Amino acid sequence: MNSTRKKAAPTRILIIYTGGTVGMVMDDATGALKPIGFKEIRDNIPEIVKLGYEVEVHAFNPPMDSSDMHPEVWIELAGIIEKNYHDHDGFVILHGSDTMAFTASALSFLLENLSKPVVLTGSQLPIGEIRTDAKENIITALEIAAARKAGKALVPEVCIYFDYQLFRGNRSKKYNAEKFEAFYSMNYPPLAEAGITIKYQRQYILKHPEEALKVHRKMDPAVSVLKIFPGITPATVEAVLATPGTRAVIMETFGSGNATTAAWFIASLRAAIKKGLIIVDITQCDGGAVELGRYETSRHLKEMGVVSGHDMTFETALAKLMWLLAQKHSKARLRELLETSLRGELTNA
């Protein structure tokens, strides 16, 4: 027996606790859920020790409800990961489910050439509740963050683990406020499913990058949203297009990218694009893609220079725009990048 053989280094995971229902308790005075500290969470999951990992914690103080999340915090999260990148094998971000898909999308762009897992999770019921989903979500998220094969992380991307499914972060959407299965990814298959074992679908997981991690530190929130609906008025459309400081508009359209053919609507959009506004067309449907020019009702949009969001989720389109606007790209390059898959966020035709 070789007694001098080195013991394998323990797997090191960093948990970043931002807040969310996972760490909330009922305030007796108001009857509303309010955040608690990470210590109470850890006290409720003694099983973490059994995993045998070295787990460090970076806890937000105070923890936040994810409805208060904003681009500055996304940048802060990217910075925390950068600072701890070399010392840790993986990262688990505990986050409220309401805006988890936005944060996951933003991080996917901010963390370029990621070769370690960044797994976001949370829960629908607080950790202290008897029927809580928090325990399973956290324990399996830790296992995914630690999973390696031949010295390499199995999931080198930003993802969301919730209710036995692992999704690409920038393909996910919170679709249910009641079910434990709060998320889905309509346009991309799950990266893994957890049953008795965790089954990874390696053909769907991003490949390891050739280059070193590059962390971006800028987001420009100069984005407005125009949701099309039957009966939308010229005043509403004009108000959105003329929002002060707006550089880009996400236009949420019907079906495969369609909108009214009313002359005033076409004229408003055309004038806004002429003035330099970027308009990205994404569908209000959760599944499927924009296909400009397929119908008469989107042909004009294509002709005037509306950008196709293909099958991007709203969350991803927003994060991608904020990230791209913060960089110095020409309009033509920006449009090209918007229509190109940079982190697996869209399916190129």
CA separation, residue 108 to residues 13, 77, 219, 343 (Å): 19, 11, 13, 7
Give yes or no: 21 in active site. Answer: yes
**334, amino acid identity:** L
Catalytic choice (4, 11, 18, 21): 21
Listed residue (82, 67, 150) closest to 118, CA to CA: 82
β pairing state of 248-253 and 223-227 = parallel
Helical residues (DSSP H) of the chain, grouped into ranges: 38-44, 71-84, 100-110, 134-146, 234-241, 263-274, 296-304, 314-325, 331-338
Q: Which of 13, 93, 98, 315 binds ligand ASP (CB under 6 A)?
A: 98
Nearest approach in angstroms of CB 142 to ligand ASP is 18
> Of the candidates 15, 53, 92, 96, which one interacts with ligand ASP according to CB under 6 A?
96
CB 272 within 8 A of CB 304: no
Residue number of the CB closest to ligand ASP reads 96
Q: What is the closest distance, in whole angstroms, from the C-beta atom of residue 106 to ligand ASP in the complex?
A: 15
* Residue from the set 16, 20, 268, 324 that interacts with ligand ASP by CB under 6 A: 20
The verdict on 63 binding ligand ASP (CB under 6 A) reads no
Residue closer to ligand ASP, measured from CB, 13 or 22: 22
21 binds ligand ASP (CB under 6 A): yes
Under the binding rule (CB under 6 A), the answer on residue 66 touching ligand ASP is yes
Binding flags for ligand ASP, 124-143, as an x/- string (CB under 6 A): x-------------------
User: What single DSSP character describes residue 254?
Assistant: B
Question: How many Cβ atoms from other residues are within 10 Å of residue 288's Cβ?
Answer: 13
Q: Which residues are near ligand ASP by CB under 6 A?
A: 19-21, 65-67, 96-98, 122, 124
Catalytic residues: 21
